[in-house]
């Protein structure tokens, strides 16, 4: 497992990077205020417009357009359907969810920090289970690449404004 570079996520028990077969850390400085980044991040239906590894995003109970604490949503990523539950939500600062799919579980956290000229966005993820254990090298590499694309797409959209 890779080292943990200045982790900013508040990891729940059983989700910490230490001992996880898969752990990723990506960060990007964004030329937009935290509020704009947040507006795109908490509207999962917009993700496919700037992150091509997300599709078929829908709330489990069929209602809502923004993520809220405890909200459950399903989406397709890395060619698998994942069911996720929002476990942390501090507007314009922190968002995290726990997810599960056949053969694995994951925890994905986002931290948005104000910075000169905009904000600094960090995203981290851990995965556990048989699939992450067997495919750790492939999964880690794919997550690093895709999460960077997600950050870059988020930065592009936030620089333009907020979603309609």
Residue 81 CA to residue 79 CA, distance in Å, equals 7
Name the residue with tokens 């795109």: 40
**Mean pLDDT score across all residues of the chain:** 94
- 162 contacts 147 by C-beta, under 8 angstroms: no
Burial class (CB in 10 A: 0-12, 13-18, 19+), 126: buried
SS3 content of the chain, % helix, strand, coil (to 5): 25, 40, 35
- 38 contacts 112 by C-beta, under 8 angstroms: yes
Return the pLDDT at 4.
57
Cβ-proximal residues to 86 (8 Å cutoff; 6+ apart), any chain = 67, 68, 69, 70, 71, 72, 95, 96, 97
Q: Examine residue 69 and state whether it is found in any structural domain, yes or no.
A: yes
Number of domains within the chain: 1
Return the pLDDT at 3.
52
Mean pLDDT of 71-98: 96
Q: Examine residue 80 and state whether it is found in any structural domain, yes or no.
A: yes
Q: Examine residue 73 and state whether it is found in any structural domain, yes or no.
A: yes
The domain of 92 spans 23-160
**pLDDT tens figures, 14-25:** 999 999 999 999
Q: Examine residue 74 and state whether it is found in any structural domain, yes or no.
A: yes
In this structure, what CATH number is given to the domain that contains residue 47? 3.30.530.20
With cut-offs at 50, 70 and 90, classify the pLDDT of residue 63: confident
């Amino acid at each position: 497992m890779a080292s943990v570079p200045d982790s900013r996520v508040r990891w729940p028990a059983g989700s910490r990077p230490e001992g996880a077969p898969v752990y990723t850390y990506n960060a990007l400085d964004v030329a937009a205020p935290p509020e704009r980044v947040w507006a795109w991040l908490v509207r999962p239906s917009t993700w496919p417009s700037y992150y091509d590894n997300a599709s078929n995003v829908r709330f489990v109970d069929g209602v809502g357009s923004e993520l809220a604490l405890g909200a459950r949503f399903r989406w397709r990523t890395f060619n698998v359907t994942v069911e996720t539950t929002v476990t942390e939500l501090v507007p314009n600062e922190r968002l995290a969810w726990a997810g599960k799919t056949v053969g694995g579980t994951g925890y994905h956290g986002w931290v948005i920090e104000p910075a000169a000229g905009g904000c600094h966005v960090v995203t981290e993820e851990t995965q556990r289970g048989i699939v992450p254990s067997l495919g750790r090298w492939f999964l880690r590499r794919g997550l690093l690449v895709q999460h960077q694309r997600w950050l870059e797409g988020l930065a592009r959209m936030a620089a333009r404004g907020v979603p309609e």
